[in-house]
Amino acid sequence: MLNQILIHTPRWVWLLLLALLWLGLSQAVSRSASLRRSTVMPLAMIGLSLYGTVTAFGGNSQVLLVWLGAVALMASAVMQLPLSDACRYDPATQRFTLPGSWVPLMLILGLFATKYVVGAATAMQPTLAFDAGFSLGFSALYGAFSGVFLARAGRLWRLAMQIDRLPGTIVAG
């Protein structure tokens, strides 16, 4: 059965996976990035998460509330985690120095895998999209990924806002 699922997967899905792998791998090395660039990728992943939720389960209020609740819960938890000591923001150039991390790759692949599993499962059994346990469980998972992406960007914004009050300084996160 897995072989049939893989065979019937459109080619563009594999191209998307390659692009997402490249994006995730690019985050695994130390780099310099603007606040805008550090925000675009998480926002895009949140958009894909919400899109995956709505296209799979519709825009009903229960599904969206579960998604939003999971976003809020995970964002709140991750916002409490400290940034790496190697994370720095320079207000003069308005750029971050970011250490490499495998976390973005894992999050991106987790989101991709979730979308893939939901798509394959609902293609084989369309009634799953209307099963409360399935739809609410996967909506929560989509939301959890979004919350982590949101908080990762939020922690950088918080660092930049703290540092912007101290012109000419470079401060660790």
Ranges of H-type helices in the chain: 2-7, 11-26, 35-57, 61-79, 103-124, 132-164
CA distance 154 to 104: 14
CA 3 to chain centroid:
28
Residue of 43, 12, 41, 10 whose CA lies nearest to 25 = 41
CA distance 32 to 89: 9
Q: CA of 147: how far to CAs of 3, 31, 49, 103, in Å? A: 33, 23, 10, 14
Cβ neighbours, 10 Å, residue 17: 16
Locate 65 and state its tokens: 């509330």
Segment-wise mean pLDDT, segments of 10 residues, the chain, 173 residues: 83 94 95 92 94 94 97 98 93 93 96 95 94 97 97 95 64 53
Domain extents for the chain? 2-172
Radius of gyration of the chain (CA): 18
What pTM value is reported for the model?
0.88
Look at residue 59 in the predicted model and tell me its pLDDT. 87
Look at residue 6 in the predicted model and tell me its pLDDT. 83
Q: Are 163 and 169 in contact (CB under 8 A)?
A: yes
Locate 161 and state its tokens: 């806002």
